[in-house]
Amino acid sequence: MAQETNEKAAATPVTMVTLTIDGQSVTVPKGKTVLEAARSVGIDIPTFCHHPKLKSVGSCRICYVEIEKMPKLQVSCATEAMDGMVVSTNSDQVKQGRRAVIEFILLNHPLDCPTCDKGGECDLQNLTFAHGTDDSRNDFQKTRFREDDMSTTFDDKSIGPEIVLNRNRCILCYKCVRSNKDAFGEYDLGVYERGNIAQIDSAPGEQVDNPFSGNLVEICPVGALTNRDWRYKIRVWLTETTPSVDNFQSSGSNITFSKERQKNKIYRVTSRPNDDIDDGWLPDITRYGYQIVNSPDRLKKPLIKKGGTQVEVSWDEALDTIAKRLANIKDSKGSVCIGGLAAPSLDNRSLYGFSKFFRKVLHSNNVDYRSDCRMLPSSSDTICSRLAMQPFSISDLDDSDVIVVFGSDLIREHHNEYLRMRKAFNFNGARLFSITPYAVKAADIAELEVVHRPGKEEFVLQAVCQAAVEDRLVDDQTAGRFREQVGNVDLTELCRSAGISTDSVKQIARALASGKKISFVVGEIVTRSREREPIAAAICNLNKLFGLHDKGQVAILARYANSKGAQKLGVVPVPHKMLVDKMNVLWSETPSCEAHNTDAMLALLKKEEIDSLFVLGANPMMVYPDLQFAREGLERADFLVACDLFETETTQLADVVLPLCSWAEYDGDYVNLEGRNQTARAAIKPIGESRTGFDIMAALAARFEASDLFEVDAIESEISQMLAIADTPALPQEYTQVRASEDKEKDGFDIPLYLCDDPHHSGHLTEKSPSLAEFSGEAYAEISFDLANRLKLRNGESVRVESPVGKIIIPVKISEILNTDVVLLPRNFSSTPTTALMMRKRRVDMVKLSKVDD
């Protein structure tokens, strides 16, 4: 029924209603509430429980308005705007109503303002100040929520690693519970009891530790939910704010830093709602990840390896050494013997400076930003890279009616897109399909979750195509061409080898064929797979067959804060032709020597054909999916320079270590996964003597007498010219034969291993954030309940994970989501080098598990 009305609404043009609010005529689409109508013309109505991204409940009743011909005051957040309504938001009756509501809310509110961290930015304070009186008529004992074993007089209760709950202060607006359920799909917080003792609490025996829990604190209108990050640190009126952009995620959530200038310290991150990107929700990585900026472990001075140990030196000495050694290698062996790896989370200027320094100053083409992918192709114009350049819009997920998530565990990779998908499902009734090699969290609202056999991605896609053709879901001409160019494959055979049922494939095919607006989202499992090209080809076939591109969007999502920027600025060995053309124009020349990507660089380092590697912010030792290979390469490097915020596995091997600024310390532009160029402002001064990536490149260039190439204004204009290049390469127009190879060796290793990010971590830096470490502080092997049962493992017990190349012992975590034999390892913890188990030539790494007997 609901779907029917939805469809009807979509079909008929939106009807408008006109009403009068405070003498002002307002026209809004039908279905909007009086509150929304009033706010659309700038009339402010106070609210506690209203949240623009959630459904109205009308529980706080502060948003009273007087509507003519209605006998009583109405709550404007739950009253639909009607034609001809005459609304008054400021009459005496309304004022009296508000005053009464505030008095009622404050009945049981404790006198906690002095101890409450919300003080100064509290909605309850503000609205009482604006609409209440300064005297109370009530002088009686207030209800107090208190555990029996509490020794404190503060009645605070810890309900999660970060969140502290004070039920006395709660005004029961239910915003936390509603957002937790409707927006994040988590059920670890609820309302218990009724009436006077109704209270918010964590679900019995559970902790509120979902990856979005920080938002609950931010939207709490009072200080009932506070987080340890901000708790008892500083008063809000002593801080200043700086607008910035998230650096841990590719969508670039808009954030605000609260900082204290004198102490040069950031105190917290809050959202800066941008409906195109984040809807005002921030994942915990973003909210607490900033803590790395003020970490005491930050590198503060350059280090040079002297006699086997790294000693602190001045910047001049470090830069002189680097310049001398690089010049030496360049002169004696040729510039092809120098390579560079940059982190895709650096800003445009740093990345561009990096690329320009290598190409223009050193005349080397060996630059790359992809340090976590195995077996990269040497060419850059591949189907996969074309797919990665396709336009994608986060907000388009909202009104897509079919969303297919292919090869991505969204909650670990793309938090904002994960929330958008839930929003599309909860508010717009979108149909979701998830196709992954292991069960994922995002699938709990999926119409259909397809878990295929690991390493069989292209089979699933082929099967969907085949099913569409067989079931005549596409027109005969298209089907004919498909048959002609791809040939007929047996659907059952395909499904059998992929380990899925034909019914599910047919269901997906039907949805894709009937969908009006389709978002086909491709994730990391594809980009990091060895067989990314055949899979991409299969996706293109699917796209062609269903015309997905015309009905919505198909894209491989960029993974890091500035992956897209790195792509567009050509920080790859062989950039697209249009980028090279532009570089030729801007720099008058580009080097023509051989170009090597990360894989090739590491291999050549091992063969001692490349002598020097310059690593800017990246940490291949932690993320490259073959630790053995990476280590051999880096250890044999004649001269290794590493720039990072912290001491990492890579900087430990380096001959020269340079301290790098974090993104909060300088103005930088970042291109998010939609191609949106956003600016993060400097919140604090650089910590210690750290410098930005661009400053390092410019200082080195000056030592090569090329400082004129690195003038900031010129660089900025070059960057904007590079970014302005329209680079949406066309997807192949013909169907292609998909031929993927599979691993031959089995060697008795039977459980597929997937390396992923912990939902509370991203990359190699967030480990240094104490709050994130509270959520998840050490590596674990996530396995299904069945597998754990078979191995007789309980949660937290140690398990031995063995692969042909390595072995680690790690605590086990029994997942509620996984349902197949697969093991997930996080790659965020330096104490447990999980990449040591991987082999770069494998498509799917296989391991065997055994219980560790004490």
Partner 1 sequence: MSLEQKELTLNMGPQHPSTHGVLRVIVTLDGERVVKAVPVIGYLHTGIEKTMESKLYYKALPCTDRMDYLAPMSNNLGYCLAVEKLMEIEVPEKVKWARVCLAELTRIKSHLVWLGTHALDLGAMSMLLFTFRDREMIVDVYEACGGQRMMTSYIRIGGLSHELPPDFEKKVRRVIKEIPAKLNDYEDLLTKNEIFINRTRNVAVISAEDAINYGLSGPMLRGSGVKHDLRKANPYSGYENFDFEVPVGKKGDAYDRYLLRLEEIRQSLRIIEQALDGMPEGPYRAHVPGVVLPPKEDVLYKMESLIFHFKIITEGFKSPKGAVYQGIESPKGELGFYISSDGSNKPNRIRVRPPSFVNLASLPKLTEGGLFSDVVCAIGSIDIVLGEVDR
Partner 2 sequence: MNEVLKAVGNVFLKMPLGFVVTLRHFFKKPVTLDYPYKKKPMTPRYRGKHYLERYDDSTERCVCCGLCAAACPADAIYMEPEENEKGERRAKIYEINLLRCIFCGFCEEACPEEAIFLGQDYEFSDVNRNAFIYTKEEMLVKHPRKDNPFKRLYRRVRKVHGVTDKIS
Rounded Cα–Cα distance for residues 669 and 716 (Å): 10
Strand partners, 518: 402, 552
Q: SS3 helix, strand, coil % of the chain, rounded to 5?
A: 35, 20, 45
Phi, psi of 586 (to 5 degrees): -75, -40
The two three-digit tokens of residue 146, written as one number: 């208190």
DSSP string, 684-721: SPPSTT-B-HHHHHHHHHHHTT-GGGG-HHHHHHHHHH
- Which of partner 1, partner 2, none does residue 396 bind to, with CB < 5 to 8 Å depending on kind? none
109 binds partner 1 (CB under 8 A): yes
With respect to partner 2, which residue has the nearer C-beta, 40 or 115?
A: 115
Note whether 849 and 787 are within 8 A (CB): yes
Biggest CA–CA distance in the chain, Å, is: 92
CA nearest neighbour of 519 among 390, 636, 629, 634: 390
Total Cβ atoms within 10 A of residue 741? 10
Number of C-alpha atoms within 13 angstroms, CB side, residue 563? 22
Decide: helix, strand or coil at residue 458. helix
Pick from 237, 332, 792, 854 the residue near partner 1 by CB under 8 A: 237
Number of C-alpha atoms within 13 angstroms, CB side, residue 685? 7
- Which of partner 1, partner 2, none does residue 238 bind to, with CB < 5 to 8 Å depending on kind? partner 2
CA nearest neighbour of 142 among 164, 168, 165: 168
With respect to partner 2, which residue has the nearer C-beta, 258 or 690?
A: 258
Q: Tell me which residues in 721-740 interact with partner 2 (CB under 8 A).
A: none
Burial of 146 (0-12, 13-18, 19+ CB in 10 A): middle
Q: Name the segment binding partner 1 (CB under 8 A); options: 31-39, 98-106, 199-207, 696-704.
A: 98-106
Q: How far is the CB of 261 from partner 1 (least distance, A)?
A: 17
261 binds partner 1 (CB under 8 A): no
User: Over 511-557, what HEC string results?
Assistant: HHHHCCCEEEEECHHHHCCCCHHHHHHHHHHHHHHHCHHHHEEEEEC
Pick from 30, 55, 235, 306 the residue near partner 2 by CB under 8 A: 235
DSSP string, 725-742: S---PPPPSS--------
113 binds partner 1 (CB under 8 A): yes
- Which of partner 1, partner 2, none does residue 134 bind to, with CB < 5 to 8 Å depending on kind? partner 1
Q: Name the segment binding partner 1 (CB under 8 A); options: 107-115, 501-509, 523-531, 635-643.
A: 107-115
Buried b / exposed e over 518-553, threshold 16 CB at 10 Å, is: bbbbbbbbbbbbbbbbbbbbbbbbbbbbbebbebbb
Pick from 47, 89, 125, 677 the residue near partner 1 by CB under 8 A: 125
DSSP string, 417-481: HHHHHHHHHHHH--EEEEEESS--GGGGG-SEEEEPPTT-HHHHHHHHHHHHHHTT-S-HHHHHH
Q: Name the segment binding partner 2 (CB under 8 A); options: 103-111, 304-312, 401-409, 574-582.
A: 103-111
574 binds partner 1 (CB under 8 A): no
Question: Sign of the CA dihedral 206, 211, 217, 221?
Answer: negative
With respect to partner 1, which residue has the nearer C-beta, 138 or 378?
A: 138
Binding mask 283-312 for partner 2 (x = CB under 8 A): ------------------------------
Q: Name the segment binding partner 1 (CB under 8 A); options: 15-23, 110-118, 265-273, 731-739.
A: 110-118
- Which of partner 1, partner 2, none does residue 103 bind to, with CB < 5 to 8 Å depending on kind? partner 1
Question: How many residues form the binding site for partner 2 (CB under 8 A)?
Answer: 28
92 binds partner 1 (CB under 8 A): no
Q: How far is the CB of 237 from partner 1 (least distance, A)?
A: 6
Pick from 14, 16, 111, 311 the residue near partner 1 by CB under 8 A: 111
Q: Tell me which residues in 164-223 interact with partner 2 (CB under 8 A).
A: 168
- Which of partner 1, partner 2, none does residue 133 bind to, with CB < 5 to 8 Å depending on kind? partner 1
With respect to partner 1, which residue has the nearer C-beta, 236 or 791?
A: 236
Pick from 22, 103, 121, 155 the residue near partner 2 by CB under 8 A: 155
Pick from 154, 315, 427, 785 the residue near partner 2 by CB under 8 A: 154
Pick from 142, 472, 516, 607 the residue near partner 2 by CB under 8 A: 142
140 binds partner 2 (CB under 8 A): yes
- Which of partner 2, partner 1, none does residue 155 bind to, with CB < 5 to 8 Å depending on kind? partner 2
Rounded Cα–Cα distance for residues 188 and 171 (Å): 19
Pick from 5, 153, 196, 733 the residue near partner 2 by CB under 8 A: 153
> What residue ranges bind partner 2 (CB under 8 A)?
109-115, 119, 139-144, 151-156, 168, 231-235, 237-238
Residues forming contacts to partner 1 in the complex (CB under 8 A) are 102-103, 106, 109-111, 113-114, 119-120, 124-126, 128-129, 132-136, 139, 237
